[in-house]
Amino acid sequence: MRGVVFDGKRVEVAYDLQVRDPGPGEVLVAIQAAGLCHSDLSVVDGTIPFPVPVVLGHEGAGVVEAVGVGVTHVVPGDHVALSTLANCGTCAECDRGRPTMCRQAIGRPGQPFTRSGRPVFQFASNSAFAELTVVKAVQAVRVPKDIPLPLAALIGCGVLTGVGAVLNRAKVDRGDSVVVIGAGGIGLNVIQGARIAGALRIVAVDANPAKEAVARQFGATDFLTSVEAVRELLPAGADHAFECVGRVELIRAAVDLLDRHGQAILLGVPPAGAEASFVVSSMYLDKSILGCRYGSSRPQRDIALYAELYRGGRLLLDELVTQTYPVEEFDRAAADAEAGKVARAVLTF
Ligand SMILES: NC(=O)c1ccc[n+]([C@@H]2O[C@H](COP(=O)([O-])OP(=O)(O)OC[C@H]3O[C@@H](n4cnc5c(N)ncnc54)[C@H](O)[C@@H]3O)[C@@H](O)[C@H]2O)c1
Ligand SMILES: [Zn+2]
Ligand SMILES: [Zn+2]
C-alpha cells in the first residue's frame, strides 16, 4: 500500500508499505483523507525529534476496515476521525478526564508497519498518511456519514488542538480579549474557538498578509502582520494570548501582551531544548503561562461535539480545506503549506 515515509534524510511516497492486522482492542482504518499539520513538517526538519523510518501524518479520517477482539463501539464501514491519543483509559489521568496526560501513551512509539520486512514507526500513534493504519479503539471516533471525510480529518488535530485550547485549557469567557499569533491551521481554529466562546475582541497576528481574509472569516475582529502593533488595539493588553507558531520570541511577545490576570497559552512547538524568557516582575499581576498538549482534549467527547457544531454551521471546516492533493503529490502539498498558500493542505487516498 501507499504511505508517506520519512527515513531521516528524505520524505518519500512508498508503495511497498504493509501494516499488521488489528490486535485485541485495535481498529484497522482505511484512511480517505489527512491534513498536513506543521508538526509533520517539524519531524522532517528535526524540530520534533522522532525515531525513523516513520510513516507521517496525524490528522486523518477514514472508514473502519476491521476491528480486533473486544472492539464494539465501531464496526466495519463506520466513518471515523482519528485522535492521536493512544491513552490507556484505565490510569488515574484517564479516569479524571485528562487523556492527554496519560503516561502510557507518551513517548512509546509503536511499529505496526513494515517495508521490505523492516519495521517502520507510527507517528503520533496515528500515521494518517498511509492507506491503512492501525489505532487503539479509543482513537477511532465515529463521525456522522454526512460530514465529508476530508473535513472530518481536520478535526483530528487542528480543531482538537485549536478549539480545545480555547474551550478546555484557557476557558475563554464571553467578552474576553484574545490575541492569536499565527493564523495557520492551528491558529485559525483558536480564532474560531474564541468566536464560539463569545470573545469580544479577537486580534489575529500573522506575518503573511495573505492570511487576513481567512482569519477574518474564522472570526478575527482585527488583523495585524506584527505583534508590535497589538498594544495600539489593546492598550491594557489581552486576557489571552495564544502562540501558534513555535518561536521563542513570539512566546515572549505573548507574555508581554497580557493584561492583568491574563494568560499566555503555548501551542506552537519550537525546537526541542529551546528556552524562552520573561520579565519575572511582570507576572505578579496574577498572570499565567499555560502549556497545552492537543487542546487538553477528550477526543470521544470533543470530536462528537465539533462534528455537531459543524453541522449546526458554527464550526467552519470547509473553509480550512484550501486544496486537496493525491498522496503522491506530498511534496507539492508540503511546499504550498510552507509557503503559506493554504489554510490546510489535505492529502487524499
Ligand atoms: N500543542 C499541540 O498539541 C500542537 C498540536 C498541533 C500543532 N502544534 C504546533 O503548532 C504550530 C502551528 O502549526 P500549524 O499547523 O498551524 O502551522 P502552519 O504552518 O499552518 O501555520 C503557521 C502560521 O504561522 C505564521 N507565522 C510564521 N512566522 C510568523 C511570525 N514570525 N509572526 C507571525 N506569524 C508567523 C505563518 O505565516 C503561518 O500562517 C506548530 O509549531 C505545530 O508544531 C502544536
Ligand atoms: Zn498536528
Ligand atoms: Zn491512561
The confidence band for 325, taking pLDDT boundaries of 50, 70 and 90, is very high
Residue-wise burial string across 238-258, b where 16 or more C-beta atoms lie within 10 A, e elsewhere: bbbbbbbbbbeebbbbbbbbb
Domain 163-293 in CATH 3.40.50.720: yes
To the question of pTM greater than 0.95 for the whole model, the response is yes
The confidence band for 54, taking pLDDT boundaries of 50, 70 and 90, is very high
DSSP helix/strand/coil, 336: helix
pLDDT recorded at residue 53: 98
Pocket test for ligand 1, best of 39, 41, 83 (most atoms within 8 A of CB): 39
What one-letter code names the amino acid at 235?
P
Strands (E), 3-159: 3-6, 11-14, 17-19, 26-36, 54-55, 60-67, 79-82, 113-115, 118-122, 132-136, 140-142
Handedness of CA 46, 108, 150, 270 (dihedral sign): negative
- Which CATH code fits 3-147+317-348? 3.90.180.10
Nearest-angstrom CA–CA distance, 17 and 131: 9
Residues lining ligand 2 (ion), CB within 5 A?
37, 39, 157
Nearest-angstrom CA–CA distance, 91 and 65: 29
Mean pLDDT for the chain? 97
Pocket, ligand 1, Cβ cutoff 6 A: 37-39, 42, 157, 161, 181-187, 205-208, 211, 244-247, 250, 267-269, 292-294, 337, 340
pLDDT tens readout for residues 274-307? 999 999 999 999 999 999 999 999 999 999 999 9
Query: Which three cell numbers, joined as nine digits, stand for 168?
Result: 478546555
Parse the chain into domains and list their residue ranges.
3-147+317-348, 163-293
